Structure 1
Amino acid sequence: DIDANGIVNVSAKDLATKKEQKITITASGALSDDEIDKMMKDAEEHSSADSARKELIDAKNNADSLAYSTRKAVADLGDKVNSAKKQEIEDALSRLEEVAKGEDAASIKAEIEAVTKILHELSTQAYQQADSQQAPGGDSTVDTEATDVDDQNTDN
């Protein structure tokens, strides 16, 4: 049996001789209350540094993800976007990747916002261009009556 404190009680009984033996196993490496308190204080002291480190790592991951998805979007849009806008987004991505090599989460976030803004402009331009190409089609619809092919074949 294991109790709540992690102490194991083991017993064995020989059925032939009716002898019984018991042993109690306790963890010799258990932490004392002082050690636990010290670890708790250390964790509290380092929580702000841990939080800042997590924020930096999240910012770097977001930068990598945005760079990948932006390059993919630009490739998918192809010729729908002018070369000046493509160059602008490439320059912004280069700045983002350079800043992401550093340790300043605020700078990384600022570059992420800059790239996101340019990407939105680029997407808007591409979709407006696509809409303008589809719009001047004029009235090319033809009204006809539908006829059932099966009805025509049954007259034979």
Structure 2
Amino acid sequence: MAKDLYPQTSSLRIRRGIWQGIWLCCLGVVLAAGFNGIRVSGSIPWAGQWPIASAEDIAEISLREAWSRFQEGTTLFVDARDPLSFKQGHIKGAWNVPPGEAGRSFDEIRILAQAGLVVIVYCDGAACPLGPALARTLQQRGVPSVRVIADGWRQWRQAGYPVEGGER
């Protein structure tokens, strides 16, 4: 019976496996960074370089001006909240376009905006990032005349302006 030329204890095997895993991860990171740097279409931005949509980047509209435009019929209201919140209540005639699902409605919204409607995006809460994020996305996709009502849903309800429930 041949003896094992390299006797290994189980702890040595475990340590060796851990080091091999660490080296494979390091190699993966180096290869990914290298390929990202030589991409023909340009490198993909690292986490800290993604653009951040903020209320300062988007033109705001006052509640009074939004109400005036609502009465004139020169506005498309876009609710950036989730579908369940939208079904529970929204500005009368508003469309529900959560930022993650905006691709389905871009063409329709762009056509209406190019025909002269002002697109007013809103969500719920003064710190809600969904409205500015959706407005930024719409602007980047070529939708003209996009505005945001900060804390729009709460303000609209408190003012007693027309609301409805259900889907668009």
Q: Is the structural similarity TM-score above 0.5?
A: no
| Alignment TM class, shorter chain as reference | under 0.3
**Which structure ranks higher in relative contact order (CA pairs < 8 Å, sequence separation ≥ 6)?**
2
Normalized per residue, which structure has more strand?
2
